[in-house]
């Protein structure tokens, strides 16, 4: 598909493009892709938002060991590895790294990079309980972030600029939702891996170029004839699915599954909720990005995520759920112990739990477990 | 099994008539915990090997822990309502709840996993079945799950301790505690859990300053807990109760303060294994430990003063003195090893003198907000930099030769800053630092033997430097 190829090509060229933008005095705002940084803020301030979504490489994880202990979430260790390597195309370009602090793992990233690198870090908190007070605290963090970025670019965030930014991001969300519907309905014209890639590209590419290509891609997808839909259909969910962490989807496909990508704490951009127009933009952003975003496993109480997954699994009529978590992301590991029982009780569906440390050595064992799981699904009446 | 436990209890300072009177409670507890005759022999042997049982105060402290264990295990049988709080506790929240409960009814309030560490761990060396039950129950091995939480879950699963009427989670500090509490809630009858949330989002370098909004948020969360306690049990928590609560542990703090003065002496009169026994009495208990623990520590303080007067120490004079991160809560062999390699530990990080408390800004009106200000100041609940900065400031008040930063490898908030701690302390105050990952609650992977080589090398380096 041509638009897909263009998206891939734009992704390959993006570091060079960003480098060029910097020569035009554009500010690049890196952010941790957990769904808690509204790109609208960066866009309204005239900056370029860039999600630090790369992952899946064991070498980056190993590089981090000089600065951080082993017992920290794999994705965050890999970010530390990239950022301290000195040769990462994105970390070398950003003017500030915005880290919405969600848990101890990503706090490790901000503390470690603050100490070991010259990167400018900007942090704000994401409370762990959904309440009015939690929302207000999150809103306070967004307002601080807006001031920070506007200060960096020297561009005031006016109502007009914010409205335009919200419109652009809402349009992108709308399209990502349409794309997701194609993925969930089992349209195999776009492979599951490419579906994920397109979602992740939304965090890296220029909004105008991305939206234009995505519109065309969706049109073509809808027109395309879907392939074999008789394969077992599994819902893939978990802690983090980073750009380049392809192993899990490759293996699922290799053993004959159709993959639907569901909720992830990081790496997949949430798109379910648009920002509603409001007088107080920060309130509107806080509502969408904090209150409406599906709460990751570390929220307390934490019933929202399992309920959402049960609902998604039922609605998409999958044959099973694959729970893919990175090592040492404790909240996901704990939930993975009792979520299968909850899901089984409500839907009868089986769960396969897989852990990864981005280590090539784990592939063999993972393959065996996936093969067995898919085979078991196939044999079910 | 009277004769089997008699020797142990006598060694731990129980009086004969006390054993007689408590017989049913003691036997029920030991039976419930699967402690049999062989365990009593092993406990006696452990105490004789690792602790300074020549000191009556040490024996009495050990006895205090056993009494807390019995009270914990028997609480439900004896008609008490139970409230558990997580570790580390939010200031002396357990004492506050205890004080508030006095006007209402009979409650048992504690951090049960700490009591199990100090007893099934330190005394009996029999925590493994509990840890294994915790691992099997959802806090999986190999994933750096907090072993303290495994102990709590394992003990609930095995029926060692009763399910509580309320559990207060450590949401103000870590992510694993609250999630594990949800797991336990799911598995053990759906008991209620209260979360006191906070956002540790201060940037590096900010401590002791903080964003006032953090105070509002944490303060509101504390107020929410107070309301929940009111609604559920009829407790009133206000500033008067908070002040009175501190007095509950007054004798314990006073005795500890007196004892700590002896620890400034050279030679050091008390080893790390014995000093550890005191650390958690006010942190983990709100019951009998407050009274009997205080008495025991007073006895110990007096005994140590005599040692200081006569120049008796557990190490030769001029032994290197180190600040220790955290001791093992379960393994006296490991704590004893530190002394055996020749390191004197006069103080742990949690006991370092805190910097003077600033006056709470008048803008903060509620009790929750005022306590939140204190929490920010303490550093640990502020940020990584807060914890490191607090230790650095504490070191200004002490004269030490090194820093043995032992830390819980599976505690994310501590793992988060372990390497930074070493780098920062060595760079800023030029204090030689050994970073030693360990498991404070589980000796299966971090035994004394496994850590010995690194400890010996560090001790030798400090000794050479001191010559």
Query: Hey, are the CB atoms on A104 and B385 less than 8 Å from each other?
Result: no
Residue ranges of B 177-216 with Cβ closer than 8 A to chain A: 178-183, 186-187, 193, 195, 197, 199-205, 211, 213-214, 216
The pLDDT tens digits of the residues spanning B119-178 come to 999 999 999 999 999 999 999 999 999 999 999 999 999 999 999 999 999 999 999 999
A36 CA: distance to closest CA in chain B (Å):
14
Cα–Cα dist B420/B384, whole Å: 9
pLDDT of residue A162: 97
Taking an 8 Å cut-off on Cβ atoms, the answer to whether B385 and A111 are in contact is yes
Cβ contacts of A148 on chain B, cutoff 8 Å: none
Given a cut of 60, whether residue B1 has pLDDT beyond it is no
* Residues A188 and A1: beta-carbon distance below 8 Å: no
B204–A300 CB contact, under 8 Å: no
- A100 class by beta-carbon count within 10 Å (0-12 exposed, 13-18 middle, 19+ buried): buried
CA–CA separation, A274 vs B165, rounded Å? 41
The verdict on a CB contact (< 8 Å) between B138 and A334 is yes
pLDDT higher than threshold 90 for residue B361: no
**A13 Cα to chain B: minimum distance (Å):** 33
Residue B110 sits at φ, ψ, to 5 deg, of -165, 175
Which DSSP string do the residues of B102-166 spell out, in sequence order?
TTT--EEEE-HHHHHIIIIITTT---HHHHHHHHHTTS-TTS---HHHHHHHHHHHTTSSPPPSE
Best of B197, B215, B219, B408 to disrupt the A interface (most A CBs within 10 Å) is B197
Q: Is B419 on the interface with A (CB under 8 A)?
A: yes
What confidence category does residue B398 fall into, taking pLDDT thresholds of 50, 70 and 90?
A: confident
Nearest chain A Cα distance for residue B359, angstroms: 24
In this complex, do A338 and B197 lie within 8 Å of one another by their Cβ atoms? no
Instruction: Compute how many other C-beta atoms are within 10 angstroms of the C-beta atom of residue A156.
Output: 10
Quick check: A111 and B417 CB within 8 A?
Answer: yes
Chain B CB contacts of A141 under 8 Å are: 201
Contact yes or no for B56/B13 (Cβ under 8 A): yes
CA atoms A7, A9, A12, A14: torsion sign: negative
Q: Give pLDDT, residue A226.
A: 66
> In the β-sheet with A233-240, what is the strand arrangement from edge to edge?
A258-266, A233-240, A320-326, A351-356
Name residue A238's beta-bridge partners. Answer: A264, A324
Residue A29 is encoded by which pair of tokens?
């705002």
A365 contact B CB<8A: no
Is B200–A133 a contact, with Cβ atoms under 8 angstroms apart? no
Q: How many helices (H) and strands (E) does chain B have?
A: 23, 8
pTM, full prediction: 0.96
What is the rounded distance in angstroms from the CA atom of residue A177 to the CA atom of residue B31? 59
Distance of alpha carbon B120 from alpha carbon B102, whole angstroms: 29
Q: Does B138 touch chain A (CB under 8 A)?
A: yes
* C-alpha to C-alpha distance for B429 and B400, rounded to whole angstroms: 11
Residue in A122, A137, A335 nearest the CB of B179: A335
Would you state the pLDDT for residue A224?
85
Q: d(Cα A205, Cα B324) in Å, to the nearest integer?
A: 50
Find the helix packing angle between B384-395 and B367-378, rounded to 10°: 70
Of the candidates B155, B156, B154, B158, the residue with the CA atom closest to the CA atom of residue B141: B154
Surface of A (12-71) touching B: CB under 8 A: 67-69, 71
Cα atoms found within 13 Å of the Cα of residue B133, Cβ hemisphere only: 17
Q: Please list the alpha-helical segments (H only) found in B33-117.
A: 37-50, 56-74, 93-101, 112-116
The string of DSSP codes covering A257-298 is -EEEEEEEEESS---S-PPPP-SSHHHHHHIIIIIISPPPTT
Contact B200, A107 (CB under 8 A): yes
B401 Cα distance to chain centroid: 25
Low-confidence ranges of chain A (pLDDT < 70): 225-229
Please say if the pLDDT value at position B397 is more than 90.
Answer: no
Confidence tier at B212 by pLDDT (50, 70, 90): very high
SS3 call for B56: helix
DSSP-derived 3-state class of residue A170: helix
Contact B433, B425 (CB under 8 A): yes
On chain A, the residues whose CB falls within 8 A of the CB of B197 are 127-129, 134, 300
Q: What was the pLDDT predicted at B213? A: 96
Tell whether A128 is within 8 A of chain B (Cβ). yes
With beta carbons under 8 A apart, name residues in chain A contacting B171.
128-129, 300
**With an 8 Å Cβ cutoff, is A114 touching chain B?**
yes
Q: If we measure between CA atoms, which residue out of A133, A176, A143 comes closest to residue A7?
A: A176
Q: Are strands B344-348 and B321-324 parallel, antiparallel or unpaired?
A: parallel
The pLDDT score that the predictor gives to residue B416 is 87
At A248, list the tokens: 């899990």
Helix H or strand E encompassing A137: helix A132-153
Measured between alpha carbons, how far is B117 from B61 in angstroms, rounded to an integer?
Answer: 14
**Bridge partners (DSSP) listed for residue A260:** A235
- Show the CA angle centred on residue B135, arms to residues B75 and A102, nearest 5°: 95
Q: How close are the terminal C-alpha atoms of chain A, in Å?
A: 36
In A, which residues are within 8 Å of B410 by CB distance?
71
Give the residue carrying structure tokens 């380049």: A244
User: From the list A104, A129, A333, which residue is nearest B197 (CB)?
Assistant: A129
Asked if B175's CB is within 8 angstroms of A115's CB, the reply is no
Q: How confident is the prediction for chain B on average, in pLDDT?
A: 94
The minimum CA-CA distance between A129 and chain B, rounded to whole Å, is 7
- Secondary structure class of A201 (helix, strand, coil): helix
Q: Per the structure block, which two tokens stand in for B66?
A: 């056993």
Distance of CA A112 to the CA centre of its chain: 22
Report pLDDT for B358: 72
> Cβ of A300 and B214 within 8 Å?
no
> In Å, what is the CA distance from B103 to each residue of A73, A173, A225, B108?
46, 56, 73, 14
Judged by CB atoms closer than 8 Å, whether chains meet at A134 and B197 is answered as yes
pLDDT tens per residue across span B189-207: 999 999 999 999 999 999 9
Is B416 in the A-facing interface, judged by CB distances under 8 Å? yes
Q: What is the 3-state secondary structure (H, E, C) of chain A?
A: CHHHHHHHHHHHHHHHHHHHHHHCCCCEEEECCCCCCCHHHHHHCCCEEEECCECCCHHHHHHHHHCCCCCCCHHHHHHHHHHHHCCCCCCCCCCEEEEEECCHHHHHHHHHHHHHCCCCEEEEECCCCCCHHHHHHHHHHHHHHHHHHHHHHCCCCCHHHHHHHHHHHHHHHHHHHHHHHHHHCCCCCCCHHHHHHHHHHCCCCCHHHHHHHHHHHHHHHHHCCCCCCCCCEEEEEEEECCECCCHHHHHHHHCCCEEEEEEEEECCCCCCCCCCCCCCHHHHHHHHHHHHCCCCCCCCCCCHHHHHHHHHHHHHCCCEEEEEEECCCHHHHHHHHHHHHHHHHHHCCCEEEEEECCCHHHHHHHHHHHHHHHHHHHHCC
The pLDDT assigned to B166 comes to 98
Candidates B74, B77, B78, B70; CA nearest to B9 is B70
pLDDT category at B347 given cuts 50, 70, 90 is confident
User: CB-based contact (8 Å) between B378 and chain A?
Assistant: no
Q: What is the distance between the alpha carbons of residues A326 and B443, in angstroms, rounded to a whole number?
A: 26
Residue B166 to chain A, least CA–CA distance (Å) = 14
Cα gap A19→A26, rounded to integer Å: 9
Distance CA A358, CA A351 (A): 21
- The answer, for B424 touching chain A at a CB cutoff of 8 Å, is yes
How big is chain B by its Cα radius of gyration, in Å? 21
Scanning A165-184 for CB atoms below 8 A from B yields none
Q: How close B317 gets to chain A, by Cα (Å)? A: 36
Residue A360: CB atoms within 10 A of its CB come to 9
Write out chain B residues lying below 8 Å of A72, CB-based: 412, 415-416
> How far is it, in rounded angstroms, from Cα B103 to Cα B238?
13
pLDDT confidence bin for B356, thresholds 50/70/90:
confident
Chain A stretch 132-161, residues whose beta carbon is closer than 8 A to a beta carbon of chain B: 133-134, 136-137, 140-141
B407 forms beta bridges with B437
Residue contact B213–A140, C-beta within 8 A:
yes
The answer to whether the beta carbons of residues A235 and A318 sit under 8 Å apart is yes
- The alpha carbon of residue B202 is apart from the nearest alpha carbon of chain A, in Å, by 7
- Interface touch A103/B175, C-beta < 8 Å: yes
Compare all CA atoms of chain B with the CA of A124 and give the residue at the minimum distance. B201
User: What confidence category does residue B395 fall into, taking pLDDT thresholds of 50, 70 and 90?
Assistant: confident
Burial of B366 per CB tally in 10 Å (0-12, 13-18, 19+): middle
Query: A334 to chain B: which residues are within 8 Å by CB?
Result: 138-139, 145, 176, 179-180, 182-183
CA distances from residue B48 to B7, B8, B82, B337 in whole angstroms, order as listed? 12, 10, 34, 15
**Cβ of B139 and A123 within 8 Å?**
no
- Which segments of A79-158 are extended strands (E)? 96-101, 121-125
| B60-96 confidence digits (pLDDT tens) | 999 999 999 999 999 999 999 999 999 999 999 999 9
Q: Check CB contact of B158 with chain A, cutoff 8 Å.
A: no
Task: Tell me: pLDDT of B350 over 90.
Answer: no
| Tokens standing for residue B309 | 């007067």
């Amino acid at each position: 598909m041509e638009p897909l190829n263009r998206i891939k090509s734009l992704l390959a060229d993006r570091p060079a493009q960003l480098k060029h933008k910097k020569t035009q005095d554009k500010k690049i705002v890196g952010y941790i892709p957990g769904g808690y940084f509204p790109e609208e803020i960066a866009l309204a301030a005239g900056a370029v938002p860039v999600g630090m979504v790369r992952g899946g490489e064991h070498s980056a994880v190993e590089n981090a060991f000089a600065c951080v202990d082993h017992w920290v979430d794999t994705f965050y260790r890999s970010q530390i590895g990239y950022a301290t390597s000195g040769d990462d195309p994105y970390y070398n370009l950003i003017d500030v790294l915005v880290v919405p602090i969600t848990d101890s793992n990503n706090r490790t990233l901000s503390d470690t990079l603050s100490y070991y690198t010259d990167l400018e870090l900007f942090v704000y908190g994401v409370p762990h309980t959904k309440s009015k007070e939690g929302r207000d605290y999150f809103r306070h963090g967004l307002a601080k972030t807006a001031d920070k970025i506007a200060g960096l670019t020297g561009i005031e965030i006016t109502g007009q600029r914010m409205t335009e930014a919200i419109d652009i991001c809402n349009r992108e969300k709308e399209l990502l939702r349409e794309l997701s519907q194609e993925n969930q309905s089992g349209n195999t014209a776009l492979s599951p891996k490419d579906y994920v890639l397109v979602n992740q590209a939304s965090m890296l590419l220029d909004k105008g170029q991305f939206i234009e290509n995505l519109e065309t891609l969706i049109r073509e997808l809808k027109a395309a004839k879907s392939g074999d839909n008789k394969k077992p259909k599994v819902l893939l969910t978990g802690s983090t699915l980073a750009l380049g962490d392809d192993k899990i989807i490759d293996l699922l496909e290799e053993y004959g599954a159709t993959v639907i990508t569901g909720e992830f704490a990081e790496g997949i951009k949430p798109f379910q909720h648009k920002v509603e127009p409001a007088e107080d933009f920060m309130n509107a952003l806080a509502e969408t990005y904090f209150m409406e975003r599906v709460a990751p496993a570390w929220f307390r109480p934490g019933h929202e995520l399992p309920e959402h997954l049960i609902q998604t699994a039922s609605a998409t009529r999958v044959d099973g759920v694959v729970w893919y978590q990175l090592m040492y992301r404790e909240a996901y590991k704990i939930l993975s112990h009792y979520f299968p029982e909850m899901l089984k009780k409500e839907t009868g569906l089986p769960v396969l739990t897989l852990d990864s440390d981005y280590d090539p050595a784990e592939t063999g064992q993972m393959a065996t477990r996936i093969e067995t799981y898919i085979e078991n699904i196939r044999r079910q009446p | 099994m009277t004769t089997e436990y008699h020797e142990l209890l006598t060694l731990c300072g129980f009086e004969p008539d006390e054993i007689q009177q408590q017989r049913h409670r003691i036997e029920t507890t030991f039976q419930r915990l699967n402690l049999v005759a062989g365990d009593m022999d092993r406990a006696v042997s452990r105490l004789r090997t690792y602790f300074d049982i020549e000191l009556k105060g040490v024996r009495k402290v050990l006895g205090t822990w056993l009494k807390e264990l019995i009270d914990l295990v028997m609480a439900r049988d004896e008609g008490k309502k139970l409230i558990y709080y997580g570790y580390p506790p939010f200031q002396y929240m357990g004492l506050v709840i205890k004080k508030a409960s006095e006007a209402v009814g009979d409650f048992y309030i504690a951090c049960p996993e700490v009591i199990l560490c100090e007893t099934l761990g330190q005394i009996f060396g029999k925590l493994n079945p509990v840890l294994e039950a915790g691992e099997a129950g959802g806090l999986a091995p190999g994933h750096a799950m907090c072993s303290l939480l495994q102990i709590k879950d394992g003990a609930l699963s095995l029926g060692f301790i009763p399910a509580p009427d309320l559990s207060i989670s450590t949401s103000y500090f870590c992510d694993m505690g609250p999630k594990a509490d949800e797991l336990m809630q799911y598995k053990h009858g759906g008991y209620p859990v209260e979360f006191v949330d906070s956002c540790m989002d201060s940037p590096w370098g900010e401590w002791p300053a903080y964003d006032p909004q953090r105070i509002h948020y944490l303060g509101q969360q504390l107020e929410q807990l107070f309301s929940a306690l009111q609604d559920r049990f009829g407790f009133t928590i206000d500033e008067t109760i908070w002040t009175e609560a501190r007095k509950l542990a007054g004798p314990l703090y006073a005795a500890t303060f007196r004892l700590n003065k002896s620890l400034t002496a050279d030679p050091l009169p008390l080893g790390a294994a014995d000093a550890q026994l005191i650390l958690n009495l006010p942190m983990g208990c709100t019951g009998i430990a407050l009274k009997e623990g205080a008495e025991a520590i007073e006895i110990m303080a007096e005994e140590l003063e005599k040692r200081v007067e006569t120049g008796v120490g557990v190490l030769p004079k001029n032994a290197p003195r180190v600040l220790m991160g955290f001791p093992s809560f379960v393994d006296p062999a490991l704590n004893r090893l530190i002394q055996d390699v020749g390191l004197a530990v006069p103080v742990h990080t949690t006991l370092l003198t805190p910097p003077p408390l600033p006056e709470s800004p008048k803008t903060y009106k509620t009790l929750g907000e005022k306590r939140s200000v204190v929490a920010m100041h303490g550093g640990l609940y502020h940020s990584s930099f807060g914890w490191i900065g607090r230790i650095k400031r504490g070191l200004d008040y002490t004269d030490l030769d090194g820093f043995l930063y032992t830390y819980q490898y599976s505690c994310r908030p501590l793992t988060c800053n372990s390497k930074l701690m070493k780098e920062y302390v060595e760079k800023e105050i030029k204090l030689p630092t050994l970073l030693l990952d360990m498991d404070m609650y589980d000796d299966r992977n971090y035994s004394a033997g496994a850590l010995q080589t690194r400890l010996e090398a560090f001790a030798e380096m400090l000794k050479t430097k001191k010559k």
